[in-house]
Structure 1
């Protein structure tokens, strides 16, 4: 087992440090309309404003990844790109530099298709991207088509909501799987976390649990029965069935208390090669767990 702590962003992540709003605004008229001055006089946006964050993402994708056409349906999760990119760069360290034609499975790609975009543009990886939500699948397909990425990214609807790899991985070998699991066990828990996030962003306080989720997010994106740990345990058990078809299985873990139970179940499944990467971005701590059934890796 290999545990690693990483303070700050990965060395290959181009999004470390402050946003270069001057360059970003040059590539986005939409972002320019949302620029405001911070208390110190620097350019910034209101990170509690869903529309402003959406325009920031569009500008980042165009500036750093050459993505001209990207959008998500109203109410869907708008992912923070720097953190998403960090996941990609950390799992790239699991791939031998000499390896060509790397194939990655993104489980629960969402409407944004963000991981396949970053992974393909950063490393030339080819992706299978799956989701259980038909609306997310159709929007992700539209993003792929509008940016001429059909040869690099294949979007698949996962028809079985209780499966991760079945029906998605066919005969092909997949070098890495990745996933950003739903964090919460219920709608109430998700909304409570969202309220805390709003308070931290100095948004007006509200006790109404039916308020709109900050930055969007549908049910399958933010919560599931049993929460993150049950989701991960199911993934671990199913990974055994695909031990010879996948190089490394990986997933984000948002809650630190879920790391040891996940390691315990992986050991019961016969996994001896487990890696945990703890990423510290300011006050936020997140983790990647990676495992393989190939003891030589």
Structure 2
């Protein structure tokens, strides 16, 4: 019997079991992929890319009123509940000294590597009314993200997109001298090579199917820029921290997902080196996967209230 997903954030709308009746009413095409498993529970086969994409489309429509969400088969198809968790933990971070979660367009978020799916800005705006800027180095991904916005014209004034023209930088070329953001967020490339990414997908598919799969099904898709970069997660986040010090007065809280716990020691050393005034690790758990958010700021405590 499926029970409430207690590991998800308390405000996460996806803690309850999926109501496939409701979801199929949103996206009828999903019906052909739903079946009853050995626990007498309705589910889908998460190793089938089309099924996962249709589930996402239904979740985004049902819970967030996002119409006609779609991505190319070659792009990352993110698990919505986990993405929502990141947004809610950022909300807690912003509420820490305010005693209430700040909402509305005065809160401005920067999503680094928003991808074709645009999921973080969509959930952030629909959940808290925040204004979001999504950035990416991939032109095709941004074009698809723009198509999602075109299908949802009410979002055009609150979610904007900007291309990063140089993969060597994260904030440069994105932030103008007068730009200010309440927070930044990022789900960085995890792997250090294409080979590593393929092996990771093979393990993931084996775990889902509980069988010996010889050929990796890229069941969550993924362009190179989404899945891997030279040096992997550690190199990417290290670069982000070092560059963030150059924009220390323009973003209140820098945040980034960290998948490998072993990377935290090195990353916190870099934070001390760049003289971050405050940093913290926020643990997240989705099912068997444990991840964490690393958050840091250069803004003194007494000045943080001025950002709201």
CA distance in 1: counterparts of 2:286 and 2:103, whole angstroms: 29
Give the deviation of 1:259 after TM superposition.
Answer: 1.0
Give the deviation of 1:206 after TM superposition.
Answer: 4.0
Question: Which residue in the other structure is 1:3 paired with?
Answer: none
Q: Hey, which of these two has a bigger chunk of helix by percent? A: 2
Q: Which aligned segments of 4 or more residues in structure 1 are displaced greater than 4 angstroms? A: none
Once the two structures are overlaid, the 10-residue window that deviates more, 194-203 or 126-135, is 194-203
What TM-score do the two structures reach when normalised by structure 2? Answer: 0.91
- Count residues with an aligned counterpart: 289
Matches within 5 A, 1:172-251: 172-202=179-209, 205-208=212-215, 211-251=216-256
What TM-score do the two structures reach when normalised by structure 1? Answer: 0.94
SS of the residue aligned with 2:93? coil
Give the deviation of 1:94 after TM superposition.
Answer: 2.1
CA distance in 2: counterparts of 1:51 and 1:253, whole angstroms: 28
CA contact (8 A) 2:103 2:128 kept: no
SS of the residue aligned with 2:127? helix
CA change 1:202–1:225 in 2 (3 A) is same
SS of the residue aligned with 1:58? helix
SS of the residue aligned with 2:290? strand
Question: Which residue in the other structure is 2:130 paired with?
Answer: 125
Is 1:140 the counterpart of 2:139? The answer is no
CA distance in 2: counterparts of 1:9 and 1:252, whole angstroms: 16
Is 1:272 the counterpart of 2:277? The answer is yes
Q: Show CA shifts across 1:236-288 (max 9, x none).
A: 01000110011000000011111111111001110131110111222110000
CA distance in 1: counterparts of 2:210 and 2:204, whole angstroms: 9
Return the structure number with greater relative CO, CA threshold 8 A, min gap 6.
1
CA contact (8 A) 1:198 1:205 kept: no
Is 1:169 the counterpart of 2:175? The answer is yes
Pick aligned residue for 2:117 from 95, 108, 112: 112
Give the deviation of 1:295 after TM superposition.
Answer: 2.6
CA RMSD of aligned residues (A): 1.4
